Amino acid sequence: MNKLPNFDVIIIGGGLAGLTNAIHLSKFNRQVLLIEKDSYPKHKVCGEYISNEVLPYLNSLGIDPINEGAKQITEVQVSTTKGNLIKGELPLGGFGMSRYFLDNLLIKKAQLNGVQVLKDSVDSIVFENEVFTVRTKDSKLYQSKITIGAFGKRSKLDLKMNRKFIKKKSPYLAVKIHVEGNFPENLIALHNFKGGYCGVSKVENNSINLCYITDYKSFKKFKTISEFQKQVVFKNKHLKKIFEETNPVFKKPLTISQISFETKNPVENHIIMCGDTAGMIHPLCGNGMGMAISSARLASERILQFLNGEIQTREELEKQYFKDWNREFKIRLSTGHFIARLFRNQTILQFVYSILKMSPFLLPKMIKFTHGKYVKTI
């Protein structure tokens, strides 16, 4: 019988979390297989803002977003549905970079490090006798000591693993478009409209990323995205001005539905989950990309300890990662849920606006609860 290709780690999904894991682990000479169904580069529905908390870590992996043209962001604006504006400084600051550019930057670094990249999708994962056997859609089989799940917000694998969150229908969908026009490079704006909110910021090529999330109940009343924007989104005067005074770069907007903010487990069936596969913060909090990168750091550090014999059992590895993940993200996710509930209630939102208007120093404090501190380098 032919021996199956064997790796230290198989990573399923080549988004931010998967790519960051691949770069980190390969930096320490581990044999890594990354399986990704899509080709690079590719645009994705995403806010495309990343907190500077992960910048030192990315730099230590050999990735320098600022040097590659990312826009440095220091200011934030938040508007209510009535157009009332709150302004403030971002405590740590951040940067704007498109997923099209950033994912491509990361995949090139991973390949330079010796990561084997396979364009395929995963059909099944079996764990037996301390070994993972991964079968792809093309009926190829691979084995590993560790498997990382970084396959995004929703996947057929979630269904096959019978994960709890997948059983509940999510009412949220998101729309993203890049436009050309005038917008401050150092600013990220979050503008509310009835049933949703839109993030606005510049990315590396001077395009403005417009990405909004809404509930399907509000959206389905209208036949097209254009009609929904005219009748709902443009009720916010700031959004109307931005949309009307810019020109689209994309031929048509990108969309994604069934976005779930339900609680997920960071370890399932002995698979270490990272990024959106482990849990999502509300886009309103603007830190999902930072969380994905940070979760990869946590996973990679523990996995290296396990592979090096510093953590002696799989049970201990899973327990330690579970603790790390909750310590790093549990409060952020809870805060994100709370803030999103506030913003969905227009009466409460106006009340919050009144408080922040009188005490603007509270806005950076609120932001801190959904962001971390500078992460250590490796």
Closest to 146 (Cα-Cα) out of 275, 303, 315, 305: 303
Cβ atoms 277, 17 nearer than 8 A: yes
Residue 332 scores a pLDDT above 60: yes
pLDDT for residue 354: 75
H-helix or E-strand spanning residue 267: strand 267-268
- Average pLDDT over every residue of 151-161: 88
Higher pLDDT, 168 or 9: 9
pLDDT attached to residue 279: 84
Question: Higher-confidence residue: 61 or 348?
Answer: 61
Give yes or no for residue 1 having a pLDDT over 50.
no
Between 130 and 153, the more confident residue is 130
Task: Please say if the pLDDT value at position 154 is more than 60.
Answer: yes
Q: Where do the domains of the chain lie, and which CATH numbers do they carry?
A: 6-43+97-169+261-351 (3.50.50.60)
Residue 329 pLDDT class (50, 70, 90 cuts): confident
Mean pLDDT of the chain: 90
CB 38 within 8 A of CB 176: no
The pLDDT tens digits of the residues spanning 232-241 come to 999 999 999 9
Distances (CA, A) of 125 to 20, 136, 149, 174, 268: 21, 9, 10, 30, 11
pLDDT digits (tens, 9 = 90+) for 64-87: 999 999 999 999 998 988 888 888
199: exposed, middle or buried (Cβ count in 10 Å: 0-12, 13-18, 19+):
buried
Kindly state the tokens that stand for 65: 């977003």
Preceding peptide of 41 cis, ω within 30°: yes
Question: What spatial distance separates the first Cα and last Cα of the chain, rounded to whole Å?
Answer: 41
Return the percentage of the chain with pLDDT > 70, whole number.
88
pLDDT category at 343 given cuts 50, 70, 90 is low
Q: Are 198 and 211 in contact (CB under 8 A)?
A: yes
- Confidence bin at 121 (pLDDT 50/70/90): very high
Cβ-Cβ contacts under 8 Å for 161 (sequence gap 6 or more): 268, 269, 271
The string of pLDDT tens digits covering residues 286-301 is: 688 998 999 999 999 9
